[in-house]
Structure 1
């Protein structure tokens, strides 16, 4: 017996419904994959956020140390300047004393 027009239409509709069901199932699988990837990204971003917070703390500690070393350097340069001025003054005084001492000796020798 040949299928009637109604049976043929029902067959076509049934095939289309099965195709829609397969499409919905494929969409569900795709959405599940997307959700899993998004969950993975959220986890990775959380880990990166934790690492950045740790790095910020390290950078703050490093900055404190760097600032302290800069202060030491400035103090050292100041100390060298003061030492240079004091050394120059002391050297000048010593040279002045020696010149005056030699003048006295030469005067005594010339007068003799």
Structure 2
């Protein structure tokens, strides 16, 4: 091989080597850009998850407060409910006693009218 042929072959090989290095650099740059995009998306996703978690914490706190209020209200209502139940039972008992008394009074009144009617008609006893 002549020195110019060797020089041309070396230049060609150096050109191929330089092109290969540029291709590797471009591939590395694309990989780095892809990794940066993936990292940005992951950061956005984590931020969204944290935001939702903060909202959930607030909502759970509100529910706990509401539950505590409801428990206190129910505790206050229980004696009133017990009183109303007692009144209802007393009312049912009073109605029963009143019904029996009215029935007895009605029977007595009917018997008295029957006797008066017998006396007025004159049939006697």
- 1:85 CA displacement: 2.5
- 1:29 CA displacement: 1.4
Q: How many residues align?
A: 111
State the alpha-carbon separation in 1 of the partners of residues 12 and 109 from structure 2.
140
Larger radius of gyration: 2
The structure 1 residue matched to 2:20, chosen from 16, 23, 29, is 16
TM value normalised by structure 2: 0.64
Secondary structure (helix, strand or coil) at the match of 1:61 reads helix
The structure 2 residue matched to 1:27, chosen from 17, 25, 31, is 31
Consecutive aligned runs of 4 or more in structure 1 exceeding 6 Å deviation:
none
State the alpha-carbon separation in 2 of the partners of residues 16 and 101 from structure 1.
120
Question: Which ranges in structure 1 are unaligned for 5 or more consecutive residues?
Answer: none
Relative contact order, higher structure (CA 8 A, sep 6+) = 2
- 1:60 CA displacement: 2.2
The structure 1 residue matched to 2:59, chosen from 36, 52, 55, is 55
Structure 2 match to 1:103:
108
Structure 2 match to 1:82:
86
Structure 2 match to 1:93:
97
- 1:53 CA displacement: 0.4
Question: Which ranges in structure 2 are unaligned for 5 or more consecutive residues?
Answer: 120-125
- 1:36 CA displacement: 1.2
Structure 1 match to 2:48:
44
Distance 1:103 1:8, change over 3 A: same
Distance 1:5 1:107, change over 3 A: same
